Amino acid sequence: MEKLQTMRLNDGTSLPSIGFGTVQVKGAQGVTSVLSAIEAGYRLIDTSTNYNNEGMVGEAVRRSSTPREELIISSKLPGHSHGYDRAILMIQESLYRLGLDYFDKYLIHWPLPKQGQYEEAWQALVDAQKFGLIKTIGVSNFLSEHLEKIIEKTGVTPATNQIERHPYFNNNELVEYNKSRGIVTEAWSPLGREINDVLTNETIVKIAEKYNKEPAQIIIRWNLQNDVLTVVKSSSYAHQKANLDVFDFELSEEDMKQIDALDKGEAGRVEGQHPNEYEEFD
């Protein structure tokens, strides 16, 4: 398998172009799953306080034979802690849950614009980075208007914006906006989380057959060629390996366009979670 390519961030650090997702990955089985992912070659592990599994991720980090400094542990600030003081305490508490003394990456999970506190939350991440609690700071589910506000308020541009993106909801406008601001896009639910049928979509299957690859690999490659980091989850070692095996082929421009054409706009979101409306606190 070819080496996992990296992506350069606006803060001078780099991330692997594919990360391992952990929604619903919990308990002892979760530890096994994360250890298996590390064995398969993943180094970036994506968790969140809202996934109720930070302890499990910390346990996998401790049990892994891969040194801590080679792993990139990323978590997310929950909606109930957007106030400045609460955010600083939450970041510390999250680190205690994981048993770590710094995060490699930390994001604001959702902007919750109706609550009107995401600017404060961003200031907390900026300061936590200065205190040495976080190496790279970013956001998740932020639209361009939210990004404009936090950049204007603090002068600090997030390094990454983790957003919903899969062929039925490609979010291309926001991907382009992120690019224009020097922000790396991370794609969540890249395979549609088995809620939608993107892995059996006729166009994707045909393209997969053409390159002698699996549908999931085609989608991950489509992200890669759009400079988008893919955060993908799998409980199977074979799928975990396959999802990293995407560096030995290139999709043609025509095939890239065909995948873009599968977009269904707002109707394509897996769970209808529009960042201006959706609220999730814990």
Ligand X SMILES: NC(=O)c1ccc[n+]([C@@H]2O[C@H](COP(=O)([O-])OP(=O)(O)OC[C@H]3O[C@@H](n4cnc5c(N)ncnc54)[C@H](OP(=O)(O)O)[C@@H]3O)[C@@H](O)[C@H]2O)c1
Where in the sequence numbering do the catalytic residues fall?
Answer: 51
> By CB under 6 A, which span of 34-42, 86-94, 172-180, 226-234 interacts with ligand X?
226-234
- For ligand X, the closer CB: 115 or 235: 235
Residue 233 touches ligand X, criterion: CB under 6 A: yes
Task: Give residue 76's Cα distance to chain centre.
Answer: 10
Residue 23 touches ligand X, criterion: CB under 6 A: yes
Q: Where are the alpha helices (DSSP H) in the chain?
A: 27-40, 54-63, 84-98, 118-131, 144-154, 172-180, 202-211, 215-225, 237-242, 253-260
Residue 235 touches ligand X, criterion: CB under 6 A: yes
Which residue has 């393209």 as its token pair? Answer: 207
Residue 54 touches ligand X, criterion: CB under 6 A: no
Interface pick for ligand X out of 34, 87, 216, 259 (rule CB under 6 A): 216
Size of site (CB under 6 A) for ligand X: 27
Residue 234 touches ligand X, criterion: CB under 6 A: yes
Residue 252 touches ligand X, criterion: CB under 6 A: no
Residue 16 touches ligand X, criterion: CB under 6 A: no
Q: Are strands 18-21 and 14-16 parallel, antiparallel or unpaired?
A: unpaired
83-99: buried (b, 16+ CB within 10 Å) or exposed (e) per residue?
ebebbbebbeebbebbe
In DSSP terms, which residues pair with 160 in a beta bridge?
A: 184
Query: What distance in Å separates the CA atoms of residue 144 and residue 281, rounded to the nearest whole number?
Result: 22
- For ligand X, the closer CB: 72 or 191: 191
- For ligand X, the closer CB: 104 or 155: 104
Interface pick for ligand X out of 14, 127, 193, 262 (rule CB under 6 A): 193
Query: What distance in Å separates the CA atoms of residue 202 and residue 197, rounded to the nearest whole number?
Result: 10
Helix, strand and coil content of the chain, in percent to the nearest 5, comes to 45, 15, 40
Residue 214 touches ligand X, criterion: CB under 6 A: yes
Residue 201 touches ligand X, criterion: CB under 6 A: no
- For ligand X, the closer CB: 131 or 272: 272
